[in-house]
């Protein structure tokens, strides 16, 4: 019953919004809302692992901004060599996934091996990520080259079987996250660590390694959200990020 609470709240909100404006509950609007929330949803999938393991990552918003800026700069730099097409975008995607994983790894190492509270670590990187982006963008915005942007925009604005691509990605990530958390040894370890880290240590779990992995997953999820975010506006500035 307790786990139904959020769902009941959501149903109440939808009902209220529909009463205020009947066009709220139309397929077009629902897809619009879902497409826009899919970024946050994908980031939340990663956050679930971190939080269930007993940690927190406050930096996801500014990490999105820095990843977006870095991805754009990277693709702009590759475009003259590899052309303004899917090849450059594919390299950009791989780059941003690796960078997101690397940021997560940094968080995980600082928290487990450096023994610093996750709140402090990620509050620190929250500021650092945004500062680095401010530096890279020289205080302004980093913009994706127009011809690249035209190609890449299909990732955000395109749809598959009538459903926008970001919603598909969110769906796949959410289902994947659910399976990983509930049906794998790693997921069970994460739950055990969050439930009582000391007991998990005494049960011979590799607590540090699993905790680092949760931050890496968070970083990769932020990168996936970024991959969907960049084609929407084709630019990143220090104020970019889900908010």
State which residue, 145 or 201, has the beta carbon closest to another protein.
201
State which residue, 1 or 146, has the beta carbon closest to another protein.
1
Count of positions on this chain that bind another protein (CB under 8 A): 20
Beta bridge partners of 143: 235
- Using CB under 8 A, which residues numbered 54 to 83 contact another protein? none
State which residue, 53 or 60, has the beta carbon closest to another protein.
53
Please give the Cα distance from 24 to 169 (Å, whole number): 23
- Using CB under 8 A, which residues numbered 155 to 194 contact another protein? 179, 182-185, 188-189, 191-192
User: Which residue is listed with tokens 């690249």?
Assistant: 148
Report in angstroms how near the CB of residue 76 gets to another protein at its nearest: 40
State which residue, 131 or 182, has the beta carbon closest to another protein.
182
DSSP result, 170-217: HHHHHHHHHHHHHHSHHHHHHHHHHH-HHHHHHTT--HHHHHHHHHHH
Between strands 235-236 and 142-143, the pairing is antiparallel
The stretches of 21-117 forming alpha helices (DSSP H) are: 27-52, 60-82, 86-112
Pull the structure tokens for residue 51: 């939080």
Report in angstroms how near the CB of residue 52 gets to another protein at its nearest: 12
Report in angstroms how near the CB of residue 190 gets to another protein at its nearest: 12
Please give the Cα distance from 136 to 134 (Å, whole number): 6
3 φ, ψ to 5°? -75, -10
- Using CB under 8 A, which residues numbered 188 to 227 contact another protein? 188-189, 191-192, 195-196, 198-206
Report in angstroms how near the CB of residue 175 gets to another protein at its nearest: 13
Report in angstroms how near the CB of residue 188 gets to another protein at its nearest: 6
- Residues at the site binding another protein, with contacts judged by CB under 8 A: 179, 182-185, 188-189, 191-192, 195-196, 198-206
């Amino acid at each position: 019953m307790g786990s139904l609470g959020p769902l009941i709240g959501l149903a109440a909100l939808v009902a209220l919004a529909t009463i205020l404006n009947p066009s709220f509950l139309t397929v077009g609007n629902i897809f619009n809302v879902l497409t826009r929330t899919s970024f946050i949803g994908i980031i939340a999938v990663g956050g679930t692992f971190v939080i269930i393991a007993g940690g927190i990552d406050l930096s996801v918003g500014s990490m999105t901004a820095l990843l977006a800026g870095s991805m754009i700069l990277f693709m702009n730099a590759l475009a003259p060599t590899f052309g303004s097409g899917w090849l450059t975008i594919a390299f950009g995607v791989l780059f941003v996934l690796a960078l997101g994983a690397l940021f997560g790894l940094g968080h995980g190492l600082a928290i487990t091996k450096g023994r610093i509270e996750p709140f402090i670590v990620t509050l620190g990187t929250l500021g650092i990520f945004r500062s680095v982006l401010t530096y890279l963008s020289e205080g302004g915005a980093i913009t994706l080259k127009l011809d690249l942007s035209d190609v890449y925009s299909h990732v955000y604005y395109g749809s598959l079987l009538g459903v926008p691509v970001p919603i598909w990605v969110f769906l796949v990530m959410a289902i994947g996250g659910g399976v990983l958390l509930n049906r794998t040894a790693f997921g069970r370890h994460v739950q055990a660590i969050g439930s009582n880290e000391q007991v998990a240590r005494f049960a011979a779990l590799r607590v540090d390694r699993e905790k680092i992995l949760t931050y890496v997953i968070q970083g990769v999820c932020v990168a996936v959200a970024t991959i969907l975010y960049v084609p929407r506006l084709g630019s990143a500035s220090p104020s970019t990020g889900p908010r």
